[in-house]
Chains A and B, each alone.
Chain A
Amino acid sequence: MICQIDTNNGIPIYEQICRQVKFAIANGSLLVGEHVPSVRDMATRAAVNVNTVARAYRDLQAEGVLVSIRGTGLAISADALEKCRRSRLDMIGERLRYILREAMQNGVTSDEIRSLVQSEWDAMQMESSP
């Protein structure tokens, strides 16, 4: 599990960790039953404060994405895949709201945004298909 933290994107660091763990579960790079790195390992790998990682893991536990396995640490829960797939759209939606607000504040219309989304999407698909 590789965690890329960006301190300038306006998202609190603990939330960036939560999101990346959830995305990793949703796209299958973290599997149900698999352990996440210990708080200390994750903190060193991502070069962030230990308490920040601990907070992210607490949130993920509260959401039922991680479960504590006695004596061995935290693992991906049985229904995490389902949960993370469902919350994928919510997480993207949050980011989108941020961009839409910027568009609205600058007088961009909804039609303009819609066609922008479509053309960016198409361009990306062109790029990824050989």
Chain B
Amino acid sequence: MNPVIQLNCVSKRFGKVQALDDVTLQIQPGTVCAVLGANGAGKSTAIRLLLGFESPDRGGIEVLGMNPHTHALEIRSRVGYVSDAPPLYEWMTVQEIGWFAAGFYPTGYQAEYDKLTKRFDLDPSQKIKGLSKGTRAKVALSLAMAHRPPLLIMDEPTSGLDPLVRREFLESMIDVAAEGRSVLLSSHQVGEVERVADDVIVLMNGKVVAHERLEDLKQSVTEVALSLPTADVAPPAIPGNRVAHVAYGHEHVWLVRDLDAGRLADHCRSQELPQAIVRKPSLEEILQTLLRQNRNQHAAVMATPAALMAAKDRSINK
């Protein structure tokens, strides 16, 4: 099957900021793919490019087999899109906005919209103006799903929403994926991502640093914590594929792929070091360590001595 989304060496720069830097990725149909990363990592830029709101400086993009630059309207009419602050016509009622939107889509939209708003317990006669943030979000989700899109794109859809609404959003995403349709989700709610995602993409400073099955990522990554006698003792080499290393004074934390735990234990024993504490981190912890290391490296690269000291202080105080 053809991928629903395909980016090929895509770069985009805004002034001095390299929002996306040579990004290549594919999203397969029928999967929930989550995009994670710090604020400003390039997540929203990527979504804006997919929907044709911006054009890339370099590289090729395909959404449902179409180029967003030349087929923006077709893509937007087939894809469902929910942002964190969905713009809606304030003076319409819940029912009217569905009727209005139905004019842009094939028949069946209105019936599906009514079904969704009923499921979300929305009052059809209420004006958009008077709705709470959570209820507005449900209207936006209903509008985005009523044409039963093969691809649902969600940019921070649940930020600022209460737990019950967030749960309803999760259930909707699960429903979409259960029908073999695809979801692209950008979110900071890592716990939610952990529940619903098949694949995860981690973006940092516009680059893809990880793109794989969530299960594989969690399975292969181990956290190793080692407390050395003093800050002067050099940390040992860790047997495995080092993903990240953060030091807090004399305490060290590594994220390691495919750790050889036996060899690590032997090594600590032979060097008369304390035994390392080894455990499986949650996605949230994996992400935090990756982001923290990246921030420190970033600070080091931009290095004036003062900036370097500040970065070091930060990592020690944290």
Contact = CB atoms under 8 A, between A and B. Distances in A.
Nearest to B180: A50
Chain B interface size band reads 20 to 34
26 contacts: A7-B191, A7-B194, A7-B195, A7-B282, A8-B191, A10-B279, A10-B280, A10-B282, A13-B194, A40-B174, A40-B175, A43-B178, A44-B174, A44-B175, A47-B170, A47-B195, A48-B174, A48-B195, A49-B174, A49-B177, A49-B196, A49-B197, A49-B198, A50-B178, A51-B198, A105-B277
A73 interface: no
Given A49-B196, A51-B198, A44 B171 contact: yes
B194 to A, nearest CB: 4
A36 interface: no
A124 to B, nearest CB: 27
B195 A40 contact: no
Contact of A7 (B171, B178, B283): B283
A32 interface: no
A61 to B, nearest CB: 19
A5 B174 CA distance: 15
Interface of A: 5, 7-8, 10, 12-13, 39-40, 43-44, 47-51, 105
Contact of B195 (A39, A49, A105): A49
Nearest to B195: A48
Contacts of B279: 10
A2 to B, nearest CB: 14
B267 interface: no
A30 B175 CA distance: 25
Q: Most chain-A CB neighbours within 10 Å: which of B167, B171, B174, B215?
A: B174
Given A13-B194, A49-B32, A51-B198, A8 B284 contact: yes
B127 interface: no
A5 B197 CA distance: 15
B52 to A, nearest CB: 29
Interface in B154-184: 167, 170-171, 174-175, 177-178
Interface in B277-309: 277, 279-280, 282-284
Contacts of A48: 174, 195-196
B44 interface: no
B195 A12 contact: no
Nearest to A39: B178
Contacts of B76: none
B198 A47 contact: no
B273 to A, nearest CB: 14
A49 B192 CA distance: 10
B48 to A, nearest CB: 27
